[in-house]
Amino acid sequence: MKKSPDTKAVVLYNKEILPGYFLLGLKWKAAKAAPGQFVMLRTSGGFDPLLRRPLGIYSVINAGGKKTFGDDGIELLYKVVGKGTKILSQKVKGDGIDVLGPLGNGFTLKAEHENKKVILLSGGMGMVPLVFFAKALGSGTALFGCRSKAEVQLASGFKKNGCKLRVATEDGSAGEKGLATDLLKDEITNDSVVYACGPVAMLKATAAIAATVGAVCFVSLERAMACGIGACLGCAVKSGKHSGVYDPSGVIENREYKMVCSDGPVFDGADIDWEAF
Ligand SMILES: Cc1cc2nc3c(=O)[nH]c(=O)nc-3n(C[C@H](O)[C@H](O)[C@H](O)COP(=O)(O)OP(=O)(O)OC[C@H]3O[C@@H](n4cnc5c(N)ncnc54)[C@H](O)[C@@H]3O)c2cc1C
Ligand code: FES
């Protein structure tokens, strides 16, 4: 298990960019973050909520809040869904927040995939780590799915970071009517490499489409997380490529269960037992 720094961050800004969606800038010296990694935030100073909440990293910023690949802070983009995120939304400039991370293994473009067509596929808040990845890549085809026009603005970071963007909305109020995976069927070839983040149903469909055409596919999984560092075993997912024997030496390839927080959250889509979800 890797040891991660646990430090105090200070709020630079916490802006409501859309109703219920907040962009949180944190001054945080431990921010050597890579696309696809996440942090665990203690939202409350007390015991409720007791557990930290996981959030993906949207970008790395400098102390003035300007977006660069500096290492003075991070930007998070979150949707208010419950108690923890509600408390987070009330933080103001200068407040301190306890942050654990950066955690997990994120997205990388492997040398053997450099000449492939890169597709960044996201649904809803799944766009957060992929916009950060788009910034590192500077190009690619981004496919974004959401419920309606009101959420389309969330995907603007893809265009800003050099990607071609196609949008699908479930109600047809913007872009094409349907799901992000409908757009994927149009764009994918056997020479594509797909990076996906969003609801499990979307990821499962993505892995199946990629397998059908013979494309490479990496998915970022979300699980409820208590510790974020591989200690509680609460975020286990069943691997599709395992020996069936628990391997205490920690050889990842042979373990039946993998931890989303420390083995992932990014996995080869072919290495997940989707039937076990
Ligand atoms: C690795 C990882 C990265 C994440 N990155 C982001 C991000 O960048 N931005 C963001 O907005 N959210 C992200 N999430 C989801 C975020 O962690 C949850 O929305 C948050 O923990 C909810 O806390 P809460 O106390 O507000 O809600 P709770 O009171 O815990 O839950 C309220 C409601 O939200 C639902 N909920 C809780 N967790 C999730 C979840 N993971 N997905 C969908 N619904 C959930 C619950 O089922 C419940 O109905 C991420 C989750 C993981 C595991
Ligand atoms: S959240 Fe504890 S092991 Fe992953």
Residue-wise pLDDT for 168-196, tens only, equals: 999 999 999 999 999 999 999 999 999 99
CATH topology (fold) of 111-276: Rossmann fold (3.40.50)
- DSSP letter assigned to residue 37: -
Helical (H) or strand (E) element with 257: strand 257-259
| Whether 56 contacts 107, CB under 8 Å | no
Question: Which of 38, 52, 225 has most ligand 2 atoms within 8 Å of CB, for mutation?
Answer: 225
Residues of the chain with CATH 2.40.30.10: 6-103
Residues 16-41 have pLDDT tens digits of: 999 999 999 998 875 578 999 999 99
- Whether ligand 2 lies within 6 angstroms of the CB of 259 is answered as yes
Can you tell me the distance from the alpha carbon of 276 to that of 103, in angstroms, rounded to the nearest whole number? 25
Please identify, by atom number, the ligand 1 atom nearest to the C-alpha of residue 260. Answer: 1
Structure confidence at residue 223 (pLDDT): 94
User: 3-state DSSP call for residue 226?
Assistant: coil
CATH topology (fold) of 6-103: Elongation Factor Tu (Ef-tu); domain 3 (2.40.30)
Structure confidence at residue 66 (pLDDT): 54
Residues of the chain with CATH 3.40.50.80: 111-276
| Whether 63 contacts 9, CB under 8 Å | no
| Residue bearing the CA closest to ligand 1, atom 32 | 82
Residues 53-65 have pLDDT tens digits of: 999 999 987 645 5
Structure confidence at residue 91 (pLDDT): 97
- Whether ligand 2 lies within 6 angstroms of the CB of 49 is answered as no
- DSSP letter assigned to residue 134: H
Share of the chain above pLDDT 70, in %: 88
Helical (H) or strand (E) element with 200: helix 200-213
Give the distance (Å) from ligand 2 centre to CA of residue 2: 13
Nearest residue to 12 (alpha-carbon basis) of 60, 80, 49: 60
Above 80 in pLDDT, residue 251?
Answer: no
Nearest residue to 26 (alpha-carbon basis) of 7, 45, 44: 7
Structure confidence at residue 246 (pLDDT): 47
Structure confidence at residue 130 (pLDDT): 98
Residue with tokens 């557990």: 51
Share of the chain above pLDDT 90, in %: 74
Please identify, by atom number, the ligand 2 atom nearest to the C-alpha of residue 260. Answer: 4
> Any idea which ligand is nearest the CA of 232?
2
Structure confidence at residue 243 (pLDDT): 52
Please identify, by atom number, the ligand 2 atom nearest to the C-alpha of residue 233. Answer: 3
Structure confidence at residue 47 (pLDDT): 80
| Whether 243 contacts 251, CB under 8 Å | no
Q: Enumerate residues 6+ apart whose C-beta is below 8 A from 146.
A: 123, 124, 152, 154, 155, 167, 168, 169, 170
Nearest residue to 146 (alpha-carbon basis) of 163, 132, 165, 161: 165
For residue 85, give the amino acid letter.
Answer: T
Average pLDDT over residues 228-254: 72
